[in-house]
Structure 1
């Protein structure tokens, strides 16, 4: 059963500017595993923006937006073939459990200027 869906699109330059302007942006938004992945990919801003969009899409699918938990509580990693996988922590995990979420599917894509993500929560 589908519990929720969410979509988000963001301008890659907006994320790039946030990274450049705010020293703490990366550590407030992304987990250590995500930052390691970004470093391995050469800090490509389309990847950073794609993960941001995925976090926003998941928060919308949860029905909360970014309320009651931190973006860092939603971790987007990749499996062996590059497919995005989601790990939830803290309050985001509690909210998902209370809503009966059993699995989260996310798709991320980008153009030269924008990153987009779509999330489906199943129970």
Structure 2
């Protein structure tokens, strides 16, 4: 049974400008494992896409849960990758739920959609 659905879109330029100012957004949004992967990316463009995608995915997840960011922090939501490269969503306190996640990028935007099914 579907428990929730959420979607979010963000401009890559907004993330790029934030990164230029400081790493504060990356530290706030990314978990330690996500930040490690972020720092290993080869160039600025990939870092912007990665951070924007994670930001959109976590916002979409919070919307799907019906809480929004606030009741749930970015640090409670982690996006890792399957061996195939597909993103995998894990949420502290929601281990019994099954999350489906899709992240996409264009030249200007990152978008993410989350669907939650009962475990």
Q: Give me the TM-score of the superposition, normalised by structure 1.
A: 0.85
Instruction: Map 1:1-123 onto structure 2 (within 5 A).
Output: 1-42=1-42, 44=46, 45-89=48-92, 93=93, 96=94, 102-123=97-118
Q: How far apart are 1:84 and its partner, in Å? A: 0.3
Once the two structures are superposed, residues 24-53 of structure 1 have per-residue CA deviations (whole angstroms, 9 ceiling, x without a partner) of 221111011111222233251112111111
Equivalent residue pairs, number = 115
Aligned 8 A contact 2:26 2:51 in 1: no
Pairwise CA RMSD:
1.5
Gap regions ≥5 residues in structure 1: none
Structure 1 residue ranges (4+ consecutive) displaced by more than 3 angstroms after TM superposition: none
Gap regions ≥5 residues in structure 2: none
